[in-house]
Structure 1
Amino acid sequence: MKSNKPKIAVIGANARALAKSAKSAGYETYLVDYFSDLDTLKSADHVFSMQKNPLEPNFREEYSREKLTDFAVEKLNGKVENVLLASSIGSDSGMIEKLKNYFKISGNNPGQVGRARNWEILMKIFNEFKINYPGTLIFDSFDTLQNNIKNLKIPYPVVIKPSVEKEFQTGLIDNEFQLNNFLDDAREKFKFKNKELRGKILIQEFIEGMPASASILSDGKCAIVLSINRQLIGIQKLNAPGRFTYCGYVIPAKLNNNLKSKISKITGKIISELGLVGSVGIDFVLKNNEFYFMEVNPRFQDTIDAVEKLASLSLRPRHASRGLASYDLAIAKFPRITRKHRNINLVEEHLKALDGKLNINLNINFANNNTNNNTEKYFAKGILFANKKIKTGNLSNISNICDIPAEGTVIHEGEPVCTIFAEGKNEPLAMENLFKKVKLINYRQGN
């Protein structure tokens, strides 16, 4: 039977949450993804997976943004007009440029994305508005960096990362010898894949502190900080394969309101100067209560699940007398609002923002501002990685997990097994509940 619902497609390497939100918003949803987990297959009306063998996926060998883009065009062309972009493809201006030849991109265009990932532009903004950022050197190629390796003006340890998100793995480098080895290894990997480096190479000062992010909604004039989140990076209990491997989050981050307000103003200014719209994010580090910018993600963030939950809780009438609303980029003040309870759908709010209809009632960042409030809730998400090659057992009957592989799926070392969610009345309890679930899953796998 033909559906009368409007159609929308979601494209991403792991876009289950975004597809689920789009479907909940009332769209006939098409999902193009690498993964084909049990719940991913149910998250949209039509699912197309890149996996050659769902019982033995090999993400490192089978996936690239270029392959995903070509696969999406093949599967969606002629079926759907509007697309939403998730994961790193939404931060890749080159892939967006290609996709817009076939679809309407319901998000930031290639020019906006290119500005958001251009560190020459970013540093001009930061210097003008006195925003902290790590000392940064920019190189056009691996060879150019290697030729200047003895003249780096940033002391070790340094961070090396690409300007194009996930073009190569971010690394922490302690000395010149390690940097030479990193560059030789990176060159070999690009040569093996018969691929040219896109974008530039960044050498940055290593800022040690609490990694965090802001989930933001913008119509280009007004930006709302939906939540400020603690990021889980390189967590050993989740078998993170690298020092900078993203492993999940805790929402909201435990911060005082003065610091929240400061972060909201800074991130709002950055989004305004870049002209970004819709659901976007900014990663940063907090060191001694000081904000240090890390990067802009001009796309949906990984925080969709928890932001929708937290927003729906925070907009109930019991919070009506609390907090602050949106950061108006034009007049720089926080208007008071009256909240009415309803379930929040981030895709719906994103599309409204693109049309200039930003819902200022959505600022939930200050909702849980009473540190002694027993009704507070914290949401934790952890991505569990395989610490060796494994064959999964039956995980479908374990509560509060997502991205569930079919029983008997072979997971290679360093690749994700599943996603775990936990709640608690404070951050330590949420994390404790998360790691309890990790132990249960490891037990089921015989670890």
Structure 2
Amino acid sequence: MRILVIGQSVRNIALSARSAGHTVVAADCYCDLDLVEAVEAHRLRIEDLFNAERVNAIIESVDPDAVVLGPGVETVRINGYSVMNNSPSRILRVSDKLWLARWLEDRGYPHPATWEREPPHDRRMILKPRRGAGGFGCRIFEGDEVPPGYIVQELVEGIPASASVICDGSDARTIVVNEQLSGTAWLNANEFRYCGNITPLDVDEDTRNRIARIAEEIVAGLGLVGSNGVDFILTENGPVVIEVNPRFQGSLDSVELSTGISVFQAHLNAFDGRLPEDVRNTRFAGRAVLYSSERIRVDCDLRRITSCIADVPAPGSVIGMGEPMLSILAIGSGRDTVMSALKERRDALVSSIQRHG
């Protein structure tokens, strides 16, 4: 198939589609080196993401067999083309953290207490945008009033985790349970910002199976299709559901490196009612998102420092403080091996960038 993948940043989705044997055209706002070297790529402006007419015009110019909508455009209505995503209305509903909290509570799933207004003041709480992903805009709640467009949730302590789930709209299969990196200091990630995954989650099999079953029930119950994710906090008393992501997840790289499965092909197959079977982890894998601690200009191909990176900015790119710089990848026989490799590559990158700018 000739696939167009369009969104703010689509490198992982586009390369997964290409590896699955499809002809891929990508349109995003970064056109990183590893994207443009692998597929036909077109640069978008940020304002294009909020202009449905412009998005549809780009799709018409490519004339693909199917479209996959990535970050920033997942709720745009597309005219005249097959769209391999959850419907915009379903995405908007599931991505509404207040609506989801009530849905989970009604069905008895463990979930943090959630308030739209007038939260109690006798516990630690986190302020979140009512819509949004990746931990962006989340912070400890210290005020008296909840700003418009935000919710407050009880802060749950534990290990951040996620389940990668493929669903056909009524039945679901968890392909893997991941550890989630969040607010990691050595990646310059503030507070609750998403910054990567280690696959699989390094806990006992019974715990992973319990998380997998809960995730399958939730994704199937919501009627989602394709690749979807469920975020958890693993507490001393078991897993607590945090969010549902009705889209491809940032864990795509580590999932494919760990299992060998094509997440993109599993996503497409689900639209035909076919779910993956007997997916197993053959090794540990990690993806870490390195954020910039200052405003920098990239003056060389950063793959000269280490080849184990992705989302590689082109020379001449300017990255603002707090913005994602690139992704670091690693594989190994265990979690500690993967984490050590990620940190070593991070140190080499930061040292070289500080020397040469």
Does TM-score exceed 0.5, indicating one fold?
A: yes
Distance change >3 Å, CA 436–CA 121, structure 1 → 2: same
Distance change >3 Å, CA 158–CA 124, structure 1 → 2: closer
Gaps of 5+ in 2: none
Gaps of 5+ in 1: 1-5, 52-61, 139-144, 146-150, 184-196, 313-343, 368-375
Q: Does 1:39 align with 2:34?
A: yes
Q: Does 1:295 align with 2:243?
A: yes
Matching residue of 1:351: 268
- Cα deviations across residues 256-294 of structure 1 (Å, max 9, x unaligned)? 111112111211111121011111101111111511111
1:235 is matched by which residue type in structure 2? T
Tell me how far 1:166 sits from its aligned partner. Answer: 4.7
Rounded Cα–Cα distance in structure 1 between residues aligned with 2:193 and 2:96: 22
Matching residue of 1:245: 193
Q: How does 1:30-429 map to 2 (within 5 A)?
A: 30-44=25-39, 46-50=40-44, 62=46, 65-67=49-51, 69-78=52-61, 79-90=63-74, 95-96=75-76, 98=77, 100-119=78-97, 121-138=99-116, 145=117, 151-153=118-120, 155-166=122-133, 169-176=136-143, 183=147, 200-240=149-189, 242-312=190-260, 344-362=261-279, 364=280, 367=281, 377-394=283-300, 395-397=302-304, 398-429=306-337
1:14 is matched by which residue type in structure 2? S
Matching residue of 2:2: 7
Contact kept? 1:48, 1:75, Cα under 8 Å: no
Rounded Cα–Cα distance in structure 2 between residues aligned with 1:215 and 1:400: 23
1:104 match: secondary structure: coil
Rounded Cα–Cα distance in structure 2 between residues aligned with 1:81 and 1:361: 30
2:5 match: secondary structure: strand
Contact kept? 1:259, 1:289, Cα under 8 Å: no
* Structure showing the higher strand proportion among its residues: 2
Rounded Cα–Cα distance in structure 2 between residues aligned with 1:378 and 1:248: 14
State the identity %: 29
1:440 match: secondary structure: helix
Rounded Cα–Cα distance in structure 2 between residues aligned with 1:35 and 1:16: 9
RMSD, aligned α-carbons: 2.4
Matching residue of 2:341: 433
Tell me how far 1:156 sits from its aligned partner. Answer: 4.5
Rounded Cα–Cα distance in structure 2 between residues aligned with 1:250 and 1:428: 10
1:159 is matched by which residue type in structure 2? I
Rounded Cα–Cα distance in structure 2 between residues aligned with 1:404 and 1:118: 32
2:314 match: secondary structure: coil
- Cα deviations across residues 202-247 of structure 1 (Å, max 9, x unaligned)? 211111211111001111232111111111111111111x211111
Rounded Cα–Cα distance in structure 1 between residues aligned with 2:289 and 2:166: 25
- Cα deviations across residues 163-206 of structure 1 (Å, max 9, x unaligned)? 322599433234226x68xx4xxxxxxxxxxxxx8xx5321111
Rounded Cα–Cα distance in structure 2 between residues aligned with 1:231 and 1:359: 23
Q: Count residues in correspondence.
A: 352
- Cα deviations across residues 17-74 of structure 1 (Å, max 9, x unaligned)? 1101112222221111111211121232x211125xxxxxxxxxx468415x554323
Q: Which one has the largest radius of gyration?
A: 1
Segments ≥4 residues shifted beyond 6 Å: none
Rounded Cα–Cα distance in structure 1 between residues aligned with 2:121 and 2:211: 26
